[in-house]
Amino acid sequence: MASTLAAAAERAEGLDEQGLAALRAEVADDVEAGARSADFRERALAYRAVGQLRFRQKLELLTRGLEDESPACRGAALLSLEALSRNHPGPANAVRSRLHQLANDDPNAAVRRLAVACLKNGSPQRDTIGLLEGLAEDDRQERDLRAMAARVADVLRRKSRER
């Protein structure tokens, strides 16, 4: 299963939408099974494959990934969510409150930064901008997180002015 998903992710590069749809149909069961695996590496691979295959039908699976006990799995789900929300804010908006929680208090610094990156793709909501400004100004936070939060808050402020 893991090798199937890894191979599918490689094959996905450069495919047109029709080719991707066929590939998604081919590996849909493997993605589901991988997300249920007891091995965190297989779960992470499944969550990451959702984004690599642009598998919008599996957004609920990513929501589960954001709740996973493994930081690697949460990170993989966030990477996929970020990829799926680049061109449309819907996926990021759908889990905004969870992204707020992850950005604000996940024990893993990389997961926190990935959650901030996902918030960049969402709609410019006042509560999100406020959270990011608070993180950017909090000297107790790691430097990279503060810098990223400041950049994303600035991007969202500009988006809100463009509306």
Contact (CB, 8 A) for 154 and 118: no
Which two structure tokens, joined as six digits, stand for 107? 């024990």
Compute the mean pLDDT over every residue in the chain, rounded to the nearest whole number.
94
For residue 119, name the pLDDT band (cuts at 50, 70, 90).
Answer: very high
Q: What is the C-alpha separation between 147 and 91, in angstroms, rounded?
A: 24
Q: What's the confidence (pLDDT) of residue 2?
A: 64
- Count H helices, E strands: the chain? 10, 0
| For range 107-113, the mean pLDDT | 97
- DSSP state, residue 116: H
Q: Rounded to the nearest 5 degrees, what angle is found at the Cα of 81, between the Cα atoms of 75 and 84? A: 145
State yes or no: pLDDT of 39 exceeds 70. Answer: yes
Q: What is the C-alpha separation between 24 and 161, in angstroms, rounded?
A: 38
- DSSP state, residue 70: -
Task: Tally Cβ neighbours within 10 Å of residue 158.
Answer: 10
pLDDT digits (tens, 9 = 90+) for 42-88: 999 999 999 999 998 999 999 999 999 999 999 999 999 999 999 99
Q: What is the C-alpha separation between 133 and 75, in angstroms, rounded?
A: 22
Q: What's the confidence (pLDDT) of residue 12?
A: 83
Contact (CB, 8 A) for 112 and 106: yes
State yes or no: pLDDT of 6 exceeds 90. Answer: no
Range with the lowest mean pLDDT among 11-15, 20-24, 137-141?
Answer: 11-15
State yes or no: pLDDT of 94 exceeds 70. Answer: yes
| For range 140-162, the mean pLDDT | 95
Q: CA 163: distance to chain centroid? A: 25
State yes or no: pLDDT of 163 exceeds 80. Answer: no
Q: What's the confidence (pLDDT) of residue 141?
A: 95
Contact (CB, 8 A) for 103 and 119: yes
